[in-house]
Chains A and B, each alone.
Chain A
Amino acid sequence: MFEARLVQSAILKKVLDAVKDLLTEATFECSDSGIQVQAMDSAHVSLVSLNLRSDGFDKYRCDRNLSMGMSISCMSKILRCAGAEDTVTLRAWDNPESITFIFESPNKDKLAEYEMKLINMDQEHLGIPETSYSCVIKMPSGEFSRICRDLSQFGESITFACSKEGIKFSASGDYGSANIKLVQNTDADKEEEAVVIDMQEPLKLTFACRYLNCFVKAGPLCNQVQLSMSDDVPLVCEYKIGDIGHIKYYLAPKIDD
């Protein structure tokens, strides 16, 4: 049997909000160590890697490894039925054809069960090579969302240029152009407001706004986002999920023609 309980269903709601614009369906791999999801968007431009560790759950039991194909839109609809303060339990039997979501109100006077059919999926698991990145940037996730939103008005892509001076985000299009520069700021009053730039080599990479604007939907999960970049490899955009795990988005760059 598989059973995973989270006192804060809000975490799972936020996780679904963070993937529902990119993925229509995904395989949830459940094992003793936790829940993992690796899935590409339909255009195979980006990849989502989600990891929720078993020790981060309030209760976790997984007697045998399970691969459960789930509709993300259906799961998202079900999670919308949970109250903000509800506890959520995911439950499935061995060789399951469905998974049950159980929502319990804080004072235990309401118990709701939603059963969702699993789907058979041909899964294509990709190996992600170990990479040492030449630029690693940590910044407030709200700031990154804002930059992506603001620059998206000017073009379909954003160029990330990292140098000793800091990081410059720029976009240009028919209306004109815009750029936003950030410098390192480790003196911020609060740790979550810091901008930390670790640059080994300067670089310039261009990424599609469409995907960046999907990634920033993970902003409510974490105050900080980490961007890891090297020339000619996918961007890694990482958000920690409390003490339970992380969500990493990989995005293939746009290449000069």
Chain B
Amino acid sequence: KHSQAKITSFFTKA
């Protein structure tokens, strides 16, 4: 089973 990661866990607020 896989869970979907969020893009915000890889890219931070500029």
Contact = CB atoms under 8 A, between A and B. Distances in A.
What secondary structure prevails in chain B residues at the interface with A?
mixed
Interface in A122-166: 124-129, 157
Interface residues of B, number: 14
Interface string B1-14: 11111111111111
B14 A45 contact: no
Contacts, number: 60
A165 B8 CA distance: 33
Contacts of B4: 45, 208, 252, 254-255
Contact of B7 (A127, A129, A157, A252): A252
B10 A233 contact: yes
Contacts of A127: 11-14
Contacts of B13: 124-127
Contact of A126 (B1, B2, B5, B11): B11
Interface of A: 40, 43-47, 124-129, 157, 206, 208, 233-234, 250-257
